[in-house]
Chain A
Amino acid sequence: MIFDKHQETVDDILSRYPVKRSAMLPLLNLAQKEEGYVSQAAMREIAGILDLTPPQVFETATFYTMLNLKPIGKFHIQVCRSLMCALVGADPLIEWLHKHLGIGMGQTTGDKLFTLSTVECLGSCGTGPMMQINDDYYERLTEERVGLILRDLRESGDCSMKSGPFMVPERGEGVVSS
């Protein structure tokens, strides 16, 4: 059972809501964090915890694009393709990633390391092009920077180029003519 070792977390989540079903997304997110995707077994278990039928969990899970219903690679690369990033060069970057990784959209590399997806706006339009890899944002991307990020992830599983607390521009200006 997936949630057995997280009993405390599950109890904490359930304590936040007067209606059990509200714990649906938190538990689905927890299942994905644990297994890398949301398995059928996890969804059945969630149904049990929330006193729902499994289809009630399936129908909810299939609505949300962040929930992977199939196993994916260790690093999920999600590149923003919305207009704001596209204006500043997202499309060539996506092409480059295709070629560099040798995989198509939604596919995983043979070594199960990288899955490549395009996604809609991730809320960093001023710092595009950008991508999210697992929990982290990487912004102001160039081919060179993406190459370094992938190298770091391959070698050490982490990369120091990920974004910290967001503030752009770094020092604001308070003067405006009007």
Chain B
Amino acid sequence: MKTFDKILLTNMERPGYTGSLSDYEGTGGYKALKTVLGNVPPNDIVEMVKKSGLRGRGGAGFPTGVKWGFIPKDHPGPKYLCCNADESEPGTFKDRQLMERDPHQILEGIAISCYAIGAQTAYIYIRGEFRLATKILERAIAEANQVGHLGSDIYGSGITVHVYVHVGAGAYICGEETALLESLEGKRGKPRTKPPFPATHGLYQKPTVVNNVETLANVPHIVNRGAEWFASIGAPPKSTGTRVFCLSGHVKRPGNYELPVNATFRDLIYELGGGMRSDKPLKAFIPGGASAPFLTPDHVDVQLDFESVALAGSMSGSGGITVMEEGTSMVWAALRLMEFFYHESCGKCTPCREGSAWIVQILQRILNKQGRPEDLRTLTEICENIGGRTVCAFGDAEIAPVQSTLKYWRAEYEVLIEEAEALKTSRKEIPVLSLS
């Protein structure tokens, strides 16, 4: 057994910790902001974050410091930071906990990040359903403004950071960074074609960084304890630090568990999660939110870092791990996720908009024992015509459940289709009327 220090959940797990400003300050909160503002050149912070190896915790895993480095330094006009709190990836519920239990950790991360990229305004784009998190964040911003951790001329440094909460209204796609910007501009949340990238043409066509809640929450810790410290945790050099993994499905103890990224699915599912909820063994798990291809019990010793999961044929994505026990129909599971994607497709790109509807139709008829022998080939072809042919990554995401269940559990599809065929021969033929 190896122990390690949690980073993001440390405070909130202290007995009696409420996440108030005084609680946060009492644990050394806002020390990092005080240290850097006006004392450390912004570019040094960008370099520090680059060196730490911190990668985006929202799903794509893009190196945060590199993203910041794309912001043009000599840009004369305003720049923006958007904190992506749209947490909508099925299987993911970590940002909600970070916001509701320790909001100032995020605000300090936002303030330091704004300073690093030269932004004076940050918007926290939060999903509309998170009413409680919205209230808690707004209260925390008011507290921080009042004592001068945020606002104009912070600590007399001449640096200004205004933070606002912007509440969404129900659209999964607004978690995609350019759709988020469209939505923040008051439009339908449809992803933009890239390039240009938000780093040069983002919010209001100004240089903009969009970072996930958990990503930003790591920043004060990197400043306090150093890039080398962070880079030594996990699976360096490519995947560093810890992540808050969200465990759901058929396990004894679902919930949020912070682990260094070199831990394995076995650690998470069997040790922290207490294993399967009943005597039924593990059948399948999704390793990184609904957009990640399913994996099998053969993969439980895979490490949780981005590279290892990619090597196993899936993605670490948003860090949401959903566990399914023996007896769960994989066709049903794929259909349930496809219904989600069909519901959430923004409609901009034809392959995704039409393809998701077709896939749902085909899966429904297979499950209802009305499938046709050619259906599996059709499914495969539709998936191939969606992947890589859409403006955003949604298209690649929505085919993951179908392709991966077809890969590992094709026989389940085939049995249902065979049953349909058997039923068909016993069904009464509809007489064809001759018009002559």
Which B residue's beta carbon lies closest to that of A91?
A: B336
Asked if B19 and A125 sit within 8 Å, CB to CB, the answer is no
Asked if A25 and B169 sit within 8 Å, CB to CB, the answer is yes
Q: Which of A18, A119, A122, A168 contacts B204 (CB 8 A)?
A: A18
In the assembled complex, B101 has its CB within 8 A of some CB on chain A = yes
Asked if A166 and B96 sit within 8 Å, CB to CB, the answer is yes
Which B residue's beta carbon lies closest to that of A67?
A: B169
Asked if B166 and A83 sit within 8 Å, CB to CB, the answer is no
Q: How many A-B contacts are there with CB distance less than 8 Å?
A: 195
Asked if A83 and B92 sit within 8 Å, CB to CB, the answer is no
A58 to B115, CA, bound (A): 38
A178-B91 in contact given A128-B248, A166-B100, A173-B272 (Cβ < 8 Å): no
B5, B127, B171, B186 — which one has the most chain A CB atoms within 10 A of its CB? Answer: B186
**A residues near B250, Cβ cutoff 8 Å:** 87-88
Interface residues on B, range: 35 or more
A88 to B91, CA, bound (A): 13
Q: Which of B3, B132, B264 contacts A165 (CB 8 A)?
A: B132
Asked if A171 and B13 sit within 8 Å, CB to CB, the answer is yes
A125-B254 in contact given A120-B90, A166-B97, A173-B272 (Cβ < 8 Å): yes
A137-B132 in contact given A64-B168, A64-B169, A177-B2 (Cβ < 8 Å): yes
In the assembled complex, A142 has its CB within 8 A of some CB on chain B = no
In the assembled complex, A108 has its CB within 8 A of some CB on chain B = no
Asked if A177 and B267 sit within 8 Å, CB to CB, the answer is yes
A123 to B128, CA, bound (A): 11
Asked if B344 and A120 sit within 8 Å, CB to CB, the answer is yes
Which A residue's beta carbon lies closest to that of B190?
A: A63
In the assembled complex, A65 has its CB within 8 A of some CB on chain B = yes
**A residues near B5, Cβ cutoff 8 Å:** 174
A65 to B322, CA, bound (A): 25
**B residues near A167, Cβ cutoff 8 Å:** 12, 97, 100-101, 256
A171 to B256, CA, bound (A): 10
A165-B100 in contact given A125-B254, A127-B254, A175-B3 (Cβ < 8 Å): yes
A24 to B166, CA, bound (A): 10
A169-B255 in contact given A84-B322, A86-B336, A177-B1 (Cβ < 8 Å): yes
* Number of chain A residues whose Cβ lies closer than 8 Å to a Cβ of chain B: 55
Q: Which of B6, B89, B170, B271 contacts A64 (CB 8 A)?
A: B170
**B residues near A137, Cβ cutoff 8 Å:** 132
Asked if B249 and A88 sit within 8 Å, CB to CB, the answer is yes
Asked if A168 and B254 sit within 8 Å, CB to CB, the answer is yes
In the assembled complex, B398 has its CB within 8 A of some CB on chain A = no
Chain B min CB distance to A147 (Å): 23
**A residues near B340, Cβ cutoff 8 Å:** 82-83, 120-121
A132 to B167, CA, bound (A): 17
Asked if B249 and A18 sit within 8 Å, CB to CB, the answer is no
Known contacts A29-B169, A121-B340, A135-B132, then 9 further A-B pairs from the complex at CB < 8 Å, ordered by chain A residue: A26-B167, A64-B170, A66-B129, A83-B333, A121-B89, A124-B96, A126-B248, A168-B254, A176-B259
**A interface list, Cβ under 8 A from B:** 16, 18-19, 21-26, 28-29, 50, 59-60, 63-67, 81-84, 86-88, 119-128, 132, 135-137, 163-169, 171-178
